[in-house]
Structure 1
Amino acid sequence: MEITNLDNVRKRRLRGGIVGGGKGAFIGAIHRIAVELDGQAQIIAGAMSSDPEIARSSAEDWFLSRWYDSYEVMAQEEAAREDGIDFVIIVTPNHLHVPVAKAFLQAGIHVMCDKPVAVSLAEAESLAAVVETSGSLFGLTHTYTGYPSMREARQLIADGALGQLRKVLVEYQQDWLMEPLEQDPAAKQAQWRTDPARAGISCCVGDIGSHAANLLEFVSGKQIESLCADLSAFVPGRQLDDDANMLLRLKGGAKGVLSCSQVACGEENNLNIRVYGDKAGLEWHQQEPNTLLFKPAGQPWQKLRTGVNLQSEQAQRLTRTPGGHPEGYLEAFANLYQLFLSDVRHALQDEPLSGGYPTINDGLRGMRFIEQAVASSKAGSIWKEIP
């Protein structure tokens, strides 16, 4: 790559595109805010719907320079432009994640994808093969790993502050699917998430249980070795699970419990994690994300606060505001994009990558978790190993 091109990459905002996220979508606007928060990138092109009118009007609402009603055409045309996009965000229903990602990876465009990565493990493995051969970056938005407090928790455990891990409890409770919302023609989010053709083999476990499992493995540094799962569809007529409870065995001997529900009355987005070792424990609540509780044996609890006394290099790097100025979901999302966009610049300049964000490997782990949870429950809640 010529020096002039290197200078151009260093001196300009990265150019981003988006597939999905059109009118009626939930997460697309969140991605846009997050990716543009630091001023390092701007979304300029999109295929925000397969419906031409919705694609056009959604792009106009976002003031995009270019719009498409076909992601295949978008990948080809953007790759051919001198001012084409450097990366693309995928925020479609699950069944489109892999075909869209493959189209852009094979066109030489870096990809950030919503989770879960696919609708099946086999499909995820086919994508992993394309990621490996394409030479392009692939990131996955397991957002909760972007909180500074979770980076601090991970480092404390890695440094041995908790001692030998014994137990991990993680729960993710919501109530938005308490009623058969998918029967409402206007409830597009509920419709596709409860539809096996678009969501895959699971609703609740795939949608939020995968987040809980990813956070557990990220913070503890231990992979889930096996699980025993009980999945339920409490709402009559629902095709996929809306609640799940699991026992977990982690590598190294620790045990765990994972509970997730989308029919837990009164809950909003109640994600919590507690980790216990033989020296200390940790506790964190996503709805109060700036506080991490450290519980040393025989001593008073310590309240570790974002922007005040988080010590790890990663936590400090991802902290954005002075102490007492709350940071939340958008900032955590933006932290993942900060790390990903840094590597996009590195890749465009043929420089070593830094990492720090979820990748295709996390996507594969997530699909193995989902498939084994479903298989365990269908077999009568028997223990299943995660390969």
Structure 2
Amino acid sequence: MRKLKMGMIGGGKNAFIGAIHRIAANMDGLVELHCGAFSSNPEISKESGKELFLRDEKCYNSYEEMIVTESLLPQDQRMDFVTIVTPNFAHFKPALMALDHGFHVLIDKPMTLTLDEAKQLQQKVKETGLVLCLTHTYSGYPMVKQARKMVADGTLGKIRKVMVEYNQGWLTSLSENDGNKQAVWRTDPSKSGIAGCMGDIGTHAAQLAEYISGLKITKLCADINIVVEGRKLDDDGNVLLKFDNGANGILVATQIATGEENALKIKIYGEKAGLEWHQMEPNSLIIKWPDAPTQIYRAGENYLSNIAKSNTRTPSGHPEGYLEAFANIYRNFALTLSSKLDGKEPTEAMLDFPTVDDGVRGMAFIENVIASGKSDQKWFDFKI
């Protein structure tokens, strides 16, 4: 038993998501930052590594240098996995190279720039037997896991309708022209891909709908919009959904909802009951009955399922937030890798994190939604 050694690509100075990853990775003491290529600028990469107290030789000028150099070291001296926290366009090549050199991969979503690239990573994972984890953070919340368990146990009965919305307001103006670095790359087709809002947050909404419901999207009908004049990619959209059990759904994703912060919420209705969860009030899961008062399940309570309790870090009444959910994904990924290194089979609980298959479905969602939005055809089959 030992800590896993993490190599980080991206996430250097002034990159907010790199710090989020490092906090999440460190929360359970299972992972240590071993090395990094923190920027495409070698000087910034070196400076970033020094600020993180890494030795000079572990602060690499490029991800290529890091992957090759680390792969030549003895097993007990090299990194165990690579975390990729770059913009979308810089996901595929380092991920593929890491897998080719025998390293497991943890990567931000969307997984790649295109569906074809996603399929290539999926094939490489199958060939190598390595693990790829995708950071769909919201599936790490304990009450999301409680919701998933209740659906799987039949508490809601057969699912009839899924309603998920992700409302933000940070792109209500053309902030990419005002020096907002996050807006600059997220609205640039060369860096973000063919989708803006739908790739950035629509994929989170779609993944959450499938994760909790246990269903798969089979058809969709999309209305995709560029609301702010001068923007190159979508900043708003509405999608009708059909699921593989016959249920229907609605997905709304927008970044021009003035005044909204990070308002991800989901409602799922079955024959017996309905449920509701809000990301900005993550400790509560609401269960609605046709013939009984509404119930509110709370994080940290003994009546919750084992899977929810095992992903809860604080006593009841303490917020289980974004960082903790992120850390749950890192922990399960780390426990899976440690089990594999020990020659053991990971448990079902350990394997509870988004994988390369979720990444492929995410890219398929993007490409199908954008194609539907550009077409006059009402329904599109969800093609992968």
TM-score > 0.5 by shorter chain: yes
- Following the alignment from structure 1 to structure 2, what is the Cα–Cα distance between the partners of residues 125 and 310? 41
> Which residue in 1 is equivalent to 2:117?
123
- Following the alignment from structure 2 to structure 1, what is the Cα–Cα distance between the partners of residues 303 and 193? 39
Q: Give the alignment's TM-score, normalised by structure 2.
A: 0.96
- Following the alignment from structure 1 to structure 2, what is the Cα–Cα distance between the partners of residues 77 and 64? 16
> Which residue in 2 is equivalent to 1:67?
59
The correspondence for 1:300, drawn from 293, 296, 319, is 293
Say which SS state the counterpart of residue 5 (structure 2) adopts.
Answer: strand
- Following the alignment from structure 1 to structure 2, what is the Cα–Cα distance between the partners of residues 96 and 126? 15
> Which residue in 2 is equivalent to 1:375?
371
Q: CA deviation at 1:26?
A: 2.2
Give the stretch that moved more between structures: 188-197 or 140-149: 188-197
Residue identity opposite 1:281 in structure 2: G
1:112 aligned to 2:144?
A: no
- Following the alignment from structure 2 to structure 1, what is the Cα–Cα distance between the partners of residues 54 and 270? 50
> Which residue in 2 is equivalent to 1:33?
23
- Does the CA contact (< 8 Å) of 1:25 and 1:189 recur in 2? no
The correspondence for 1:173, drawn from 154, 167, 172, is 167
Say which SS state the counterpart of residue 272 (structure 1) adopts.
Answer: strand
Q: CA deviation at 1:309?
A: 4.5
> Which residue in 2 is equivalent to 1:80?
72
Q: CA deviation at 1:60?
A: 1.6
Q: Where in structure 2 are the equivalents of 1:15-34 lying within 5 Å?
A: 15-34=5-24
Identity, % of aligned positions: 50
1:244 aligned to 2:263?
A: no
Give RMSD over aligned pairs: 1.1
1:351 aligned to 2:344?
A: yes
- Which runs of 5 or more structure 1 residues have no equivalent in the other structure? 1-9
Say which SS state the counterpart of residue 231 (structure 1) adopts.
Answer: strand
- Following the alignment from structure 2 to structure 1, what is the Cα–Cα distance between the partners of residues 246 and 302? 31
Q: Give the alignment's TM-score, normalised by structure 1.
A: 0.95
Q: CA deviation at 1:24?
A: 2.7
- Following the alignment from structure 1 to structure 2, what is the Cα–Cα distance between the partners of residues 105 and 165? 38
- Following the alignment from structure 2 to structure 1, what is the Cα–Cα distance between the partners of residues 236 and 126? 35
Q: CA deviation at 1:176?
A: 1.0
- Does the CA contact (< 8 Å) of 1:229 and 1:381 recur in 2? no
Q: Which runs of 4+ in 1 moved over 6 A?
A: none
- Following the alignment from structure 2 to structure 1, what is the Cα–Cα distance between the partners of residues 290 and 279? 24
1:266 aligned to 2:259?
A: yes
- Following the alignment from structure 1 to structure 2, what is the Cα–Cα distance between the partners of residues 87 and 306? 31
- Does the CA contact (< 8 Å) of 1:18 and 1:43 recur in 2? yes
Say which SS state the counterpart of residue 271 (structure 1) adopts.
Answer: strand
The correspondence for 2:47, drawn from 41, 44, 57, is 57
Residue identity opposite 2:84 in structure 1: I
> Which residue in 1 is equivalent to 2:322?
329
> Aligned pair in 2 of structure 1 residues 35, 50: CA closer, same or farther (>3 Å)?
same
- Following the alignment from structure 2 to structure 1, what is the Cα–Cα distance between the partners of residues 153 and 122? 31
Say which SS state the counterpart of residue 176 (structure 1) adopts.
Answer: coil
- Following the alignment from structure 1 to structure 2, what is the Cα–Cα distance between the partners of residues 178 and 279? 40
- Following the alignment from structure 1 to structure 2, what is the Cα–Cα distance between the partners of residues 270 and 290? 15
Q: What whole-Å deviation, never above 9, does each CA across 1:259-290 have from its counterpart, x for those lacking one?
A: 01111100110000000111100000000000
Q: Where in structure 2 are the equivalents of 1:85-234 lying within 5 Å?
A: 85-184=79-178, 186-234=179-227
- Does the CA contact (< 8 Å) of 1:108 and 1:135 recur in 2? no
> Which residue in 1 is equivalent to 2:358?
362
Residue identity opposite 2:280 in structure 1: Q
Say which SS state the counterpart of residue 54 (structure 2) adopts.
Answer: coil
- Following the alignment from structure 2 to structure 1, what is the Cα–Cα distance between the partners of residues 152 and 29? 33
Q: CA deviation at 1:382?
A: 2.5
Q: What whole-Å deviation, never above 9, does each CA across 1:304-325 have from its counterpart, x for those lacking one?
A: 0000145222111111111111
> Aligned pair in 2 of structure 1 residues 309, 227: CA closer, same or farther (>3 Å)?
farther
